[in-house]
């Protein structure tokens, strides 16, 4: 079958399949495995320091000579809100004492938060061919700077107004994030209420109303779901959860098992881990923070408060205190090398009538 | 192309396309138009009196000799809860005074609520070939009685446990109601939290795990969405919103215009009209009942409290007080004869590569 289209030509890849950037799960080895197999790996560096960013990019480059994307969090950082931070921080201290979690309260005065703007010079220097982003839209200056270097830009939309704005700003490819998708919602315009549009409605809505190629995201895990996304008007698909249990994933064993064993009704949208809405599997942490009825500080402040808890949970391989991000079809994730999962997707798709 | 499959053979229809039952919107003329065009029309009679049920069935029969489905609400009726009814009723009285809506408070002692069990004898007598249902599952006795007369049964599921139970009970076809679907959620098992699974995840989940044919519902409006549902494993599709603006629809002009002009982000899930979760377009009624922060009495009690308001809104053609049920792709609804809309779907599907 003919895989080449406008999207593959823009991205200079063999198959229009993008591995979704999953911070905390995606490793340079996963990115390289997908790019080496002919797809587009995506290296998530959202919120990381310039040093970490360079290091991850260089590690990835040491494993592949194929194009890969680097993914940014294009959010603004709101001022800290002590009226929300103090009660939440106090609650988390008690929560950690209850469950014997080592917890050092972060010192708000000494926290360094990194903006994506500090990562742009690195991306330009490293000649990253594809830059994807979520949680917002890059500034006009940065878009121009990246485009002058012929960087292909992928923005994330959860509604038609977001897709339209991305297109107006010159973004080349729109990732249409259906409500089935795992992890953080990319919503950056009106989020009251949060747009929760199913892939089955969002993909054709954006494909019919946008000129640029659409990358469908949310609920895609095998040949038939890829084919259905193309039928709905997508030129490519972005697949995340199906790679969470792969050998190259940084997910802990208990996280991998949790998504493979979860029923889709265990999946919730929650702000409790980060301050932004995200889809994952309910656990003790989510339920107890919800039951506290405390307002959750805005992203990225809540994530700074919970990072020690997640680090502890990962070290202990305890799924009850870790963020188990997963899409609505995440139970289909397989414990195999990422490249093998990818190649199997291609074979399944080619075997379809 | 080959339209015949297990589902069309069971239902004795030419095309595996079912018009979704939409109480208050679907008319006998709409049902007949779809069945005459080779699909399956569905006549909604949920909660109606035996007399109304007979009358609607006879009207439909006078317009078509083809098979059509009759759709029941298979819910239990909970005892009235005065602690919820009284404050809500008082609030609605004030609401109606504010907006000059004629409102007669229903006398709870004299309200007659009809159960689906009173409609079964009529369906048997009228030899209805297909009975579909939602909000629950028919009793074992009724299932047996209907099956003895070779009635084909279609149940509605919003999760895998619901689909599995329907299949265990001998139901022939499972309507997989994705979260994109308009109108009432069919959820009848655990609804805390309410299962909100996108069609893109729900359709393949049920198709992979059920032996009986799956009818995909939610987000389907044209040839490519029908084809995508088949690719995901459905043997048929159920289409509602695309017929709301049809000539045969009982929807008011302002309702038809509202769904055609709505953005998908105007769509909300609300219990305010009926006491059951349903998807429709936000309006003044929904917002003010939400803002009252009053608990909403369970279905069907809330719907008895709001029926005078909806009747008034329909008479006045005022969309602010009417239930504007609509799915996430409802803006694609066209103002044409229902049979023409149906035939166009078939042509679009056949024209696809």
Q: Is the pLDDT of residue A14 over 90?
A: yes
Whether residue A232 is found in the same domain as residue A157? yes
Whether B180 sits inside 8 A of A195 (CB atoms) is no
Determine contact, residues B305/B291, Cβ cutoff 8 Å.
no
C-alpha torsion angle, residues A36, A37, A40, A46 (rounded to 10): -60
Determine contact, residues B255/B330, Cβ cutoff 8 Å.
no
Q: Is the pLDDT of residue A46 over 80?
A: yes
Q: How far apart are CA A12 and CA A7, in angstroms?
A: 8
* Interval B312-330: pLDDT, tens: 999 999 999 999 999 999 9
Whether A329 sits inside 8 A of B219 (CB atoms) is no
CA A296 from chain centre, in angstroms, equals 21
Q: Is the pLDDT of residue B23 over 80?
A: yes
HEC readout, B196-229: CCCHHHHHHHHHHHCCCCEEEECCCCCHHHHHHH
How many other β-carbons are positioned within 10 Å of the β-carbon of residue A316?
Answer: 16
Please calculate the CA angle B270-B273-B275 and round it to the nearest 5 degrees.
75
Whether residue B173 is found in the same domain as residue B287? no
Q: Which chain A positions have a beta carbon within 8 Å of B239's beta carbon?
A: none
Q: Which of A160, A195, A224 is nearest residue B232 as measured by Cβ atoms? A: A224
Whether residue B94 is found in the same domain as residue B149? no
pLDDT the model gives residue B104: 82
CA A98 from chain centre, in angstroms, equals 31
B153 by Cβ neighbours in 10 Å (0-12 / 13-18 / 19+) ranks as: buried
* Interval A275-310: pLDDT, tens: 999 999 999 999 999 999 999 999 999 999 999 999
Residue B232: both structure tokens together: 């995901």
- Cα distances from A19 to residues A70, A226, B137, in angstroms, run 11, 13, 41
Whether residue B241 is found in the same domain as residue B260? no
> In this prediction, what percent of chain A has a pLDDT beyond 70?
100
Whether residue A274 is found in the same domain as residue A324? yes
Residue A274 CB partners (closer than 8 Å, separation 6+)? A184, A299, A300, A302, A303, A306, A323
pLDDT the model gives residue B107: 84
Average pLDDT over every residue of B15-30: 98
Whether residue B207 is found in the same domain as residue B311? no
Q: Which chain A positions have a beta carbon within 8 Å of B180's beta carbon?
A: 197-198, 200-201
Whether residue B208 is found in the same domain as residue B329? no
Q: Is the pLDDT of residue A1 over 80?
A: no
pLDDT the model gives residue A111: 85
Chain B nearest CA to A53, separation (Å):
34
Q: How far apart are CA B111 and CA B107, in angstroms?
A: 6
Q: Which chain A positions have a beta carbon within 8 Å of B217's beta carbon?
A: none
pLDDT the model gives residue A271: 98
pLDDT the model gives residue A73: 98
Determine contact, residues B123/B146, Cβ cutoff 8 Å.
yes
* Interval B228-274: pLDDT, tens: 999 999 999 999 999 999 999 999 999 999 999 999 888 999 999 99
pLDDT tier for residue B160 given thresholds of 50, 70 and 90:
very high
Domain containing residue B236: 1-77+113-248+337-352
pLDDT tier for residue A207 given thresholds of 50, 70 and 90:
very high
pLDDT the model gives residue A191: 81
Whether residue B148 is found in the same domain as residue B279? no
Q: Which chain A positions have a beta carbon within 8 Å of B232's beta carbon?
A: 224-225, 228
Average pLDDT over every residue of A71-96: 95
Residues on chain A bordering chain B, Cβ-to-Cβ distance under 8 angstroms: 159-161, 178-180, 190, 193, 195-202, 204-205, 218-220, 222, 224-225, 227-229, 231-233, 263-265, 268, 327-329, 352
* Interval A139-191: pLDDT, tens: 999 999 999 999 999 999 999 999 999 999 999 999 999 999 999 999 999 88
pLDDT the model gives residue A158: 98
Chain B nearest CA to A225, separation (Å):
6
The residue of chain B with its CA nearest to that of A221 is B201
Q: Strand order in B183-184's β-sheet?
A: B183-184, B278-281, B267-270
Q: What is the CATH number of the domain that holds A124?
A: 3.20.20.70
Chain B nearest CA to A183, separation (Å):
16
Chain A nearest CA to B69, separation (Å):
26
pLDDT tier for residue B192 given thresholds of 50, 70 and 90:
confident
Q: Is the dihedral of CA B152, B158, B163, B165 positive or negative?
A: negative
Whether residue B178 is found in the same domain as residue B288? no
Q: Is the pLDDT of residue A224 over 80?
A: yes
Whether A200 sits inside 8 A of B225 (CB atoms) is yes
Q: Which of A41-45, B156-160, B189-193, B219-223 has the lowest mean pLDDT?
A: B189-193
Chain A nearest CA to B232, separation (Å):
6
pLDDT the model gives residue B1: 74
Whether B265 sits inside 8 A of A204 (CB atoms) is no
Whether residue A88 is found in the same domain as residue A129? no
- Cα distances from A253 to residues A48, A217, A257, A307, B39, in angstroms, run 24, 25, 6, 19, 49
CA B278 from chain centre, in angstroms, equals 10
Name the domain count of chain A.
2
Whether residue A119 is found in the same domain as residue A98? no
* Interval A250-275: pLDDT, tens: 999 999 999 999 998 889 999 999 99
Chain A nearest CA to B110, separation (Å):
40
Residues on chain B bordering chain A, Cβ-to-Cβ distance under 8 angstroms: 159-161, 178-180, 190, 193, 195-202, 204-205, 218-220, 222, 224-225, 227-229, 231-233, 263-265, 268, 327-329, 352
* Interval A85-132: pLDDT, tens: 999 999 999 999 999 998 888 888 888 899 999 999 999 999 999 999
Average pLDDT over every residue of B282-310: 97
pLDDT the model gives residue B109: 82
Q: How far apart are CA A33 and CA A29, in angstroms?
A: 6
Whether residue A193 is found in the same domain as residue A270? no
pLDDT the model gives residue A103: 85
pLDDT the model gives residue A140: 98
ipTM associated with this complex = 0.97
């Amino acid at each position: 079958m003919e895989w080449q289209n406008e999207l593959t030509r823009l991205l200079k890849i063999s198959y229009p399949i993008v591995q979704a950037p999953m911070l905390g799960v995606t490793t340079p080895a996963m990115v390289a495995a997908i790019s080496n197999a002919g797809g587009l790996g995506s290296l998530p560096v959202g919120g990381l320091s310039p040093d970490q960013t360079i290091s991850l990019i260089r590690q990835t480059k040491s494993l592949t000579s194929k194009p890969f994307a680097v993914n940014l969090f294009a959010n603004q950082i709101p001022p800290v809100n002590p009226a929300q931070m103090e009660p939440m921080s106090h609650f988390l201290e008690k929560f950690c004492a209850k469950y014997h979690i080592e917890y050092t309260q972060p010192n708000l005065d000494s926290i360094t938060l990194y903006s994506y703007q500090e990562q742009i010079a690195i991306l330009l220097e490293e000649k990253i061919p594809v830059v994807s982003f979520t949680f917002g839209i890059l500034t006009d200056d940065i878009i121009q700077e990246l485009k002058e270097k012929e960087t292909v830009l992928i923005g994330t939309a959860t509604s038609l107004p977001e897709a339209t704005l991305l297109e107006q700003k010159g973004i080349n490819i729109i990732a249409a994030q259906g409500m089935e998708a795992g992890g953080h919602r990319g919503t950056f315009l009106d989020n009251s209420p949060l747009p929760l549009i199913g892939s089955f409605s969002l993909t054709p809505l954006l494909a019919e109303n946008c000129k640029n190629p659409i990358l469908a995201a949310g609920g895609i895990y095998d040949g038939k779901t890829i084919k259905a996304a193309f039928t709905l008007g997508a030129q490519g698909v972005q697949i995340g959860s199906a790679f969470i249990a792969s050998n190259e994933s940084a997910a802990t064993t208990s996280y991998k098992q949790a998504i493979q064993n979860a029923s889709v009704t265990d999946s919730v949208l929650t702000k409790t881990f980060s301050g932004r809405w995200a889809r994952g599997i309910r656990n003790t942490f989510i339920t107890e923070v919800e039951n506290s009825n405390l307002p959750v500080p805005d992203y990225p402040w809540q994530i700074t408060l919970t990072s020690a808890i997640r680090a502890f949970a990962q070290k202990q391989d305890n799924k009850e205190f870790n963020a188990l991000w997963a899409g609505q079809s995440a139970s289909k994730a397989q414990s195999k090398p990422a490249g093998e999962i990818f190649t199997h997707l291609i074979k399944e798709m080619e075997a379809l009538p």
